[in-house]
A and B are shown apart, each in its own frame.
Chain A
Amino acid sequence: MDKTITYPLQIGPTHPAFKEPVRFSFKVEGERVAGVDIDLGYTHRAIEVISKERNFIQTIYLLERICGICSVSHPMAYCMAVEDASGIEVPPRARYIRTIIGELERMHSHLLWAGVAAHEIGFDTLFLYTWNIREKVLDCLEQFTGNRVNYAMLTIGGVRRDLTDDLIPVIEQTLEYYLEVYQRTSEILLDDQSIRYRCEGTGILTYDQAVALCAVGPTARASGLAKDVRVDYPMLAYPDMDWLKPITPLDIGKEPAGDVYDRMVVRVLELKQSVDIIRFCLDNLPEGPIASINGSIKIINKLKKVQGEGIGRYEAPRGEVAHYDILDMSECPVQMKVKAPTYSNAFAWVPMLQGSEIADIPIVIASIDPCIACADRMTILRDDGATETLNAEYLHSLSVNKMKEVKSRCSG
């Protein structure tokens, strides 16, 4: 006799993401997920619509607040789109400074992700450890830009603050520190037996699915699709780095399986890659001006006379950020379309979650790095209509219990 009960299960809806917060409705058979539906739009703030009433400079600061973690990536893509449409040049020094900030941001974001992922599988010591070493890059960013999170560094046609000589040793010390801790961090993240047990074979996205669903960033690269905007599409300082390659699990000699572990591998290796990129930029930093037009008024006056459209793309820590801007003789963008990486990757959740266990849901959802601050509240709706609330604590304890089980199996 089959005793498996099929019931719907909901996560959300106060589930924070950048532009696309998610509520999941699962169909669960026993412990296995049989069907997934995703409901977006709870933190839809209509940024694309408000930007029609903000001028080009105000829009930069509005876009910085699409996502507090990719707060450089969105303005970067936007500035490149406007520069593409209007033909405004970016001086080489500004390109290099932009690259350095973008890579520092990638480092803090990947460390943040590693901590959140560790928390989701109940490895809280690692969570505290990675967030503690992450403070170092935040200090560096704060000294460099004046802020811990929203940096306000970019402007159309360049950057707003120069990388002065006294800042270079600060960044170098930070890189030195990360090279020191890299060995230990990567050992914990990649070789720890309990992490391997929880992450290997969980949340699989195959190569074909990644291509069809237009997955981006580390999620796509972990599935073997070596897609990286920094390497595919020439922009900023990246065309000068001939050695730059998209990172896939093949770099540690592992056939890409597209599971959570592979996503971890890609992100850990990218930490090292970011250090190399920043080193290159510091060694080859060109002299010259940091912006082609000085002053916001001059920029707006120039853009007022432009008609055209442009596309700007940048590889954010989570994947491709793309902006499409239309300019039409006005001081505000006529239309601006934004694509954040989770927009593309949210689709990939469906094949990943299909067939996984309930206890694995948090780590699979977190594995594409959708800014999981909390997978906060779940409700199980039984067929008889009674509602039972599964809160994050319960969900977390399920995950933690699975971890304990794993540990006893590892040692036993």
Chain B
Amino acid sequence: MRIRKMKKSFKRSLWAFHINTGSCNACDIEILATLMPRYDAERFGIKLVGTPRHADVLLVTGPVTEKIRDKVIRVYEQVPDPKLVIVIGGCGSTTGVYQESYAVTGPVDNCIPVDVFIPGCPPRPEAILYGVARAWEKLEKIMKEGSKNAS
């Protein structure tokens, strides 16, 4: 069922920009592992890009430290609409083990709107793929509604 839905939504490739807001790198290497030959997210056209201005999706990891907060907001503003934010990992979703820290101002939805949370410390590559697919559906929906409103 889901596969059929996914097929329907794969109209164009999805470009993602990854921003680390103070994570421990575990989620970051799992994102890379998702793109590698074993899981091969690139066969769906999912690609990491080097600048937020080319991206459809923002992948955010980490609990948002105080020093980086402004930069996260700035990167979010640079992503063109329609855009989605996916939070990867437990600390981005809830600040996880880093709660009570004076240097952490997260979780991520404290500073930018979030569409999909992928829990896990770190989430497995399969979970990341699934989360991205869910986000994709949402993006297609937004675009469809957008074009309806325009016409």
Interface residues of A (CB under 8 A from B): 13-14, 16-18, 21, 41-47, 49-50, 53, 61-62, 65-69, 71, 112, 128, 131-132, 135, 138, 148-150, 371, 373-374, 376-377, 391-394, 396
Contacts and interface: CB of A to CB of B under 8 A. Distances in A.
B25 A45 contact: no
A41 B103 CA distance: 10
B51 interface: yes
B21 interface: yes
Interface centre among A18, A68, A135 (most CB of B within 10 A): A68
Contacts of A131: 32-33, 36-37
Given A43-B20, A393-B50, A373 B97 contact: no
B57 to A, nearest CB: 16
B88 to A, nearest CB: 12
A410 B113 CA distance: 50
A138 B103 CA distance: 32
Contacts of B22: 21, 42-45
B29 A42 contact: no
Given A14-B75, A149-B30, A67 B101 contact: no
A135 B101 contact: no
B62 interface: yes
Interface of B: 18-30, 32-33, 36-38, 49-51, 62-63, 65, 67-68, 71-72, 75, 91, 96-98, 100-104, 121-122, 124
Contacts of A50: 98, 100-101
A391 B50 contact: yes
A43 B51 contact: no
Contact of B38 (A47, A61, A135): A135
B132 to A, nearest CB: 17
Contact of B104 (A46, A71, A138, A373): A46
Given A65-B121, A135-B36, A374-B20, A43 B65 contact: yes
Nearest to B121: A150
A62 B100 CA distance: 12
A376 B67 contact: no
Contact of A42 (B28, B68, B102): B68
A128 B102 contact: no
B37 A128 contact: yes
A148 B25 contact: no
Given A16-B62, A393-B50, 4 more contacts: A42-B65, A42-B67, A47-B98, A65-B98
Nearest to B91: A65
Contact of B122 (A45, A149, A396): A149
Given A45-B103, A50-B98, A131-B33, A16 B65 contact: no
Given A16-B20, A43-B22, A45-B98, A396 B50 contact: yes
Contact of B24 (A42, A65, A391): A65
Interface centre among A53, A132, A149, A393 (most CB of B within 10 A): A149
